A and B are shown apart, each in its own frame.
Chain A
Amino acid sequence: MVIDQLFWLFFMTFILLLIEGFYCVTVTYNLFRILIGLEVLIKAVTLFVIAAGYLSGHLALAQSIVITIIVIEVVVVVVAAGIILGFFREFDSLNVKNARRMKG
């Protein structure tokens, strides 16, 4: 079945992107890079939603969902950027370890 093969292709891409994102979030100490990892995760899931809509023939629903996801994603990124800038102003660094040291 072509559909099953296509689904498997999308699924593999989804899993690989998830691995990249989670690896990036867990391994790094840099706040900005954590945000990059989170963005990769959201990209992965956006792709998956569109793929699901395409495969099942509900592309209109999937598109409207993706548009909403994108709007929410922007707000999340802006808020995260605000937190990162505030952190930088407080600690003069983007490294999370600095904050932990401050806390003692």
Chain B
Amino acid sequence: MMLLSVLLILLVLISLWAVMTPLLLRAAIGLAATSALLTMIMYQLGAPLAAVFELSVCAGLISVVFVSVVSLTHRLPLKEFMKRRQSRIKRFIFLPLLLVAALAIMLTIKLPFQLQLPAADKISDVRVMLWNIRRIDLFGQIMALLAGVYGVLILFRGRKTDGD
């Protein structure tokens, strides 16, 4: 429980950094670090398979996409960047305050949850769950990936061209 609390606090702090940092590249790296921490939490909770997916896909693949987007879009000139940074600081300064306030409120009220937990699942193997019980989800995943393929084909094409 101690380790878990530390990991959760770190998760909030790192994602805060990812949201607040002025450089886009650092934001992408911060997000990858958030994913990595989430992986550790999942592992702690005993979900190794989901953790592997999170690590390879979110911390890996999505970071690659993000970094390539950042590198394909050009940087602002330094002067413009400093100006934007000023206005950004003004806009984002309230976020930590808001977080602290929300935390304080939640720590003081502490809603009286009386969780009535259901009976534990008969199937404890995630592979059986995914391949036998929830096979339709796999079909849905395949369709989502197909949509993604079309997305790459259409959206990452160069400028509009006439004819085929």
Residues of A participating in the B interface, judged by any CB pair closer than 8 Å: 1-4, 6-13, 15-17, 19-21, 23-24, 27-28, 30, 32-33, 35-37, 39-40, 43, 46-47, 50-51, 53-68, 70-75, 77-79, 81-86, 88-89, 94
Among B8, B141, B148, B151, point to the contact of A10 (Cβ < 8 A). Answer: B8
B147 at the interface (CB under 8 A from A): yes
The residues of A that contact B128 with a CB separation of less than 8 Å are 60
B82 at the interface (CB under 8 A from A): no
The residues of A that contact B114 with a CB separation of less than 8 Å are 4
Among B70, B103, B151, point to the contact of A78 (Cβ < 8 A). Answer: B151
The residues of A that contact B1 with a CB separation of less than 8 Å are 2, 6
Total of A-B residue pairs, C-beta within 8 Å: 212
The residues of A that contact B62 with a CB separation of less than 8 Å are 39, 73-74, 77
Q: How many B residues touch A, CB cutoff 8 Å?
A: 78
Interface of A is mostly: helix
Q: Is the CB of A19 within 8 A of B151?
A: no
Tell me, in angstroms, the Cα distance from A58 to B129 when the chains sit together: 11
Q: Is the CB of A74 within 8 A of B47?
A: no
Interface of B is mostly: helix
Among B70, B118, B141, point to the contact of A58 (Cβ < 8 A). Answer: B118
Among A21, A57, A94, point to the contact of B117 (Cβ < 8 A). Answer: A57
The residues of B that contact A19 with a CB separation of less than 8 Å are 95, 98-99, 102
The residues of B that contact A64 with a CB separation of less than 8 Å are 126, 129-130, 134, 137
Q: Is the CB of A70 within 8 A of B54?
A: yes
Other A-B contacts than A16-B103, A36-B31, 15 sampled, CB-CB below 8 A, are A3-B117, A8-B110, A8-B111, A9-B4, A20-B15, A36-B18, A59-B45, A60-B124, A63-B50, A64-B134, A66-B53, A66-B54, A75-B144, A82-B154, A88-B72
Tell me, in angstroms, the Cα distance from A12 to B113 when the chains sit together: 13
Among A8, A47, A78, A94, point to the contact of B38 (Cβ < 8 A). Answer: A47
Q: Is the CB of B115 within 8 A of A55?
A: yes
B3 at the interface (CB under 8 A from A): no
The chain A residue sitting closest to B58, CB to CB, is: A70
The residues of B that contact A20 with a CB separation of less than 8 Å are 12, 15-16, 19, 95, 99
